[in-house]
A = this chain, B = another copy of it.
Amino acid sequence: MRIGMIAPLEMRVPPVAYGGTELLVSLLTEGLVKQGHEVTLFASGDSRTAARLISVCGKFLRGTPRDKSVLNILNVVACLERADEFDIIHNHTQLEGLSTAGLVRTPMLTTLHGNLKDDWLKLFRQYRGWYNTISISAKRLLPDKERFAGVIYNAIDVTSYPYNGSAPDDYMLFLSRISREKGTHIAIEVARRLGRKIIIAGNIDTTDRPYFEEEVLPLIDNDLIRFVGEANYSMKRKLMSGAYCLLAPITWDEPFGLFLVESMACGTPVIIFNRGSAPEVIAHGVTGYIVETVEEMAGAVGKIGEIDRKRCRQHVKLNFDVPRMVNAYLDVYSSVQEEAGTKRRREPIETGTQYL
C-alpha cells in the first residue's frame, strides 16, 4: 500500500524528548516499511526513518521562533499536493489536516491523539475524511459517528522494555508529568498513609510549576517520598522494572496512558483511578487494580502481591505491541479505501449554511 504519513512538526520523528504522537508515528511508519509498504513521511528534516522523508523545514519546531501554524499547514499541503501518489493519507495533525481533507480525492484517515478543543469540536462536522481514536473513552465526545473508522490502541516496542519477574525493589512509582491532572499529590498521600516508599519521577511544565512548588515539593522528604526529576530512556526502564507497583491517580479522562503500558511491559502492575481509558488498558485484578477513591488505592497496594507480573507483560504483548497496531491500521486503511470508493463525497458548504 502507498501511504502518505503526516506528522506534527513540533518534534522530530522519533522524538528526542517528550513527543508521544511523534513516537507513535515512528513506530507505525517503521512497522509499515518493514512489511513492505511504501510510506512517505512528512515530518521535520531531522527525523530518522526507513520511509521516504519529505520535509518543509530542516529542524523540529519546539523551542524555535518559527511560525508554527504556517509550517504545519505547509507540511500538510506538501502531502496533499502529492495526493495522487497515495492510496491513503494518514494524518496526525488536527486543524491543518482536518480542514483540508476535502481538497483531494485520496481518502484521509486522521488519528485523534488528543482532545479536540473549543471551536474544533463544533467544526468537526465539516471534516471530509475518516478518523480513529486511541481508546473507546476518547470517542465519546465526538459528534460524528458516520466517519468513525474504529479504535486503535497505541503501542510500544515491547522488546525495548526489560522484564523483571521477581523480587522488585521496595518502592512504589509515580512516573508521569508532575501535575494535578496526573495526581502527583494523591500518589504521595497514598504513600504517606501506608508509610511506604514512593519514587516520584517526571517533567514539570511551566504551567505546573506553582502546583509542584506548593503541593508536591513540601512533601518530598528524601526518605519515604523521593523526587528524582525527569527520567530519560534508560532511567525510566530501570525505575519501572524495579517498582512493585505504579500509582496512577489520574484526575482527568486521559484518552490513552502510554506510561501504563510501559509499566506493565516491565512486569509492574498499575493501580489507577477509574477515569478515561483506564478500564481499557488495565485488566482489573489481573494487571493491576482500578479504584475509585484514595482509600481504595491504599487498600489495593496491600493486595499487589496477588498480581502475577508475568501476566502484566503478556497483557501488553497481546494488546499493545507494535505489530498488532500496524496490522490494525492496515485493516482500517483498507476499509476506509473501500468506503471512499462507494460513499458519496460530502458537498461543499452552501449559501445560508454556516458551521458556526
As for how many copies of this chain the complex holds, the number is: 2
Which residues of A (123-144) have their CB < 8 Å from a CB of B? 123, 126
Interface residue A151 (Cβ < 8 Å from any Cβ of B): no
Task: Report the minimum CB–CB distance from A119 to chain B (whole Å).
Answer: 4
Interface size on A, residues (CB 8 A): 39
Given A56-B356, A57-B354, residue A74 in contact with residue B126 (CB < 8 A): yes
CA distance A170 to B81 in the complex (A): 61
Given A56-B354, A95-B73, A100-B103, residue A348 in contact with residue B67 (CB < 8 A): no
Task: Report the minimum CB–CB distance from A38 to chain B (whole Å).
Answer: 14
- Contact between A123 and B53 (Cβ–Cβ < 8 Å)? no
CA distance A57 to B354 in the complex (A): 5
Within 8 Å by CB of A100, from B77, B348, B356, lies B77
CA distance A81 to B126 in the complex (A): 12
- Contact between B74 and A103 (Cβ–Cβ < 8 Å)? no
Within 8 Å by CB of A56, from B67, B78, B355, lies B355
Within 8 Å by CB of A103, from B52, B54, B77, B120, lies B77
Chain B residues closer than 8 Å to A214, beta-carbon distance = none
CA distance A262 to B121 in the complex (A): 44
Query: Please, what's the 1-or-0 string for A78-95, where 1 marks a CB less than 8 Å from any CB in chain B?
Result: 101110000000000001
- Contact between A349 and B56 (Cβ–Cβ < 8 Å)? yes
- Contact between B119 and A103 (Cβ–Cβ < 8 Å)? no
Residue of B nearest to A346 (CB): B81
- Contact between A70 and B120 (Cβ–Cβ < 8 Å)? yes
Chain B residues closer than 8 Å to A73, beta-carbon distance = 73, 95-96, 99-100
CA distance A355 to B349 in the complex (A): 33
CA distance A56 to B348 in the complex (A): 11
- Contact between A119 and B67 (Cβ–Cβ < 8 Å)? yes
Residues of A in contact with B (beta carbons under 8 Å apart): 45, 52-58, 66-67, 69-71, 73-74, 77-78, 80-82, 95-96, 99-100, 102-104, 118-120, 123, 126, 348-351, 354-356
A to B CB contacts below 8 Å, 30 in the list: A45-B354, A52-B351, A53-B351, A54-B349, A54-B350, A55-B351, A56-B355, A57-B354, A57-B356, A67-B119, A69-B69, A69-B95, A70-B95, A71-B119, A71-B356, A73-B73, A73-B96, A74-B99, A74-B123, A77-B100, A77-B102, A77-B103, A78-B348, A81-B102, A81-B348, A81-B349, A82-B348, A100-B103, A103-B103, A103-B104
Task: Give 8 new A-B contacts, CB below 8 A, not counting A56-B126, A71-B355.
Answer: A45-B354, A55-B354, A58-B356, A69-B95, A70-B120, A71-B119, A73-B96, A74-B123
- Closest CB pairs A-B (n = 7): A81-B348, A67-B119, A103-B103, A57-B356, A73-B99, A78-B349, A56-B355
